[in-house]
Every structure is written in C-alpha cells, then in structure tokens.
Amino acid sequence: RQARVVIGRGGDAFTFDFAPIRGTAIHDDLAFRDFTINALALPVTRVAGSLLDPLHGLRDIAEGKIRACGTGIFDDDPLRLLRAIRFAVTLGFAIEEVTWQEMLTRSHLLANVAGERIREEFFLVLGARNVAASLELLRSSGLLPMIIPGDCHNGEYFSDFAARRTFAAGAERVIEDCERLFPSVRDNLSAHLERPVEGGISLFSLLKLAAFLSGEDARESIKTCCDRIRLGAKARAELKVLCDCATAFPSVPESVVGERFLYRFFRDRAPGGAELVVLPLAARLIDPEMATRLVSFYFYDYRPTDANLLLSGEQVMNLLGVGPGPRLGRILETLREAESVGQVSTVDEAREFLLKTVDNSRSIG
C-alpha cells in the first residue's frame, strides 16, 4: 500500500510518499524507476550512509541529461513519455539519445493514458519557460497529437504549427514583460495570472494553450483538446473567451472608450478578467496604452459578479418592493455597472440611483 504525508501548508509544506519496495532489495526498486535522476536513495536510519546511485543518476544530473532507467519504462507507464518532456523543459536538461529514440517508437502509447493524468503533466510543461521549445519537443516526439488531436494533411500535424508556436511564444513574452508593460499594476497582474482556474491549472499556462489553439477552427480544436485532457467547465469557459479575444477585439474610436465601454468589455466576457488583454496584445490587435487602460480598470474599478455591492439583494428588495427573480438580477446588474463606472460610490447614492432609475425606466422592470 502507498501513502502520502504532508507536513506544513502552502509553499512551506513538505510531502513524503511511502511505498513498498519493488523487488527483493532497494537496488531492485531503483531499477524500476523512470529516469536515472530519480533513481537515487539515502538510508533513513540514524547511521549516516552513502548515497545509493546504481544507475549513475548523479552523473546525469551533472551533465543535464534525462536518461531512462531501462528499455521497458514507457511500456510500464506511458505517462513517463510526457514526464520526460516535463523534466527536460523544467530543469533545462536534454533527453539522452537512446531514451529519445525509445520515446519516438513509443509515443503512440500515450493514447492509452487517462486524460486526467495527462492534464497534470501537460500544464506543468506549459508552465515552464520557453513554451516554443516545449511545443517543439512535444510535436517532434509525436506526443502532441495525443494531447491535442488535430487534422493531419499529408502527414503534417497542424500545417500552421510554426505560426501557432510563435503566437504562444509571443503570449509568453507579454506575460514575462508585465513589469515593463503594466508598471502600475504589475503585482496585481502577476498574482492574477498565477491563480489557479481549476485543479492547479494556472491562468498563465492556460493562456499559452489558448494562443496555440486560437485561429482557424479554434472552436473544434478547443473541444477536442478539452475532451482529451478532461478539462472542467471553468477551464473550458476561460479557454473559449481567451481564444475569442485572440482573434477579435472590439474596434472603437479612442474618443468613445469610456468607463462604460471598459466595464462592458469585462462583463460580456465573463469569466475572463485582466488576462484577456494578453493575447490581443501579443497579436497586436490592441496597443499597450489600451491594454493598460483595461487592466487598470479591472483591478481598480471593476465589480465582478461575486463582488459585494453597496446594497445587498435583500436591501434592494426592501427598497423597491420587488421579489427575488430575473427582475432583481437586472436591477443588481444596473447597480453593479453604476458602481464600476463611478456613478455611485456611497450607500445613499446607490439608494437614490436605484429609486430614480427604476422609477424612470421600464428597461429593468
């Protein structure tokens, strides 16, 4: 039986995994590991002992190489194919040639791995720096079609692969350049992009995937990818709105871009937030000034749907004599917009605004 013990919380937590030894001794167990850099062991007795390194993992660490422990490791667990890529891109190591050739002949085995297992490794790969190199490794290894199924014409996977890879790299540069592009909100935006959408999937990882999927037939690409790696409803919705913004952005004169426009931009693209400017900026659909206006408005003025308004739903019902239902929802949405654009800023102003608005307009009746 296997067990996991976690001591501490957050970034200070230590995780300990316990599992029975495979084989008759520790050396047998190490030989069953995936890669030599993971086939190391230390005695846990009180008497200090030397490091056990039967497969020369320390040498491979020093040389920056990912080397399989044996020829059968990918047959035992095909997810190791993707783990090899993940170790290479996160550690900056190279995959040793014999191991690489073995991966090329076994890449089709990843099709038999559950999407949930693939998803975790895949987003760790996307979370590493240099997404262009990561995507190239995934493509050249034959693993990417097992993760993002795509049409193959004359044996070519995604004929515009180079353009997609370049766009993903451009999105990554925008993310990494937040301090220069958005100096007034760089800390807010950095923290925002690191937040998980669901299941440990960060926004900055999802942005890189959206950049790769956007373009022609984006809707179909999103669906096949999401189905394959079993993305949940939140990540699917976020991915769709990101791809939409990557190829189309409202074209309006600068003179009419007021706070109401900024508010409705985010309102109409929920659940998207400040991250929605990254792909249009990378695609040069908007300029840095417009992107800064949007991001600043989002962090300083925008009231998301889950924000506390100046008046609660119960207070609005008592004030206006309405009951719960769609009409109340429309009234609260009107108040949310008024707060976001600075039309009201106190409880008294909110009451006066609603009394006047509901009395003079049937549109929210």
Nearest to 263 by CA among 249, 253, 277, 273: 273
Question: pLDDT tens-digit profile of 98-145?
Answer: 999 999 999 999 999 999 999 999 999 999 999 999 999 999 999 999
Question: pLDDT tens-digit profile of 209-249?
Answer: 999 999 777 888 899 999 999 999 999 999 999 999 998 88
Checking if the pLDDT of 304 tops 90, the result is: no
- Residue 95's beta-bridge partner residues? 66
Whole-structure pTM value:
0.85
pLDDT for res 46 = 60
Q: CA 196 → CA 200, 202, 216, distances in Å?
A: 5, 4, 27
Question: pLDDT tens-digit profile of 142-162?
Answer: 999 999 987 655 556 788 899
Question: What gap in Å lies between CA 104 and CA 108, rounded to an integer?
Answer: 9
Mean pLDDT score, 158-177: 93
Tell me if 343 sits within 8 A of 334, measured CB to CB: no
pLDDT for res 42 = 86
pLDDT for res 64 = 98
Bridge pairing between strands 152-153 and 156-157: antiparallel
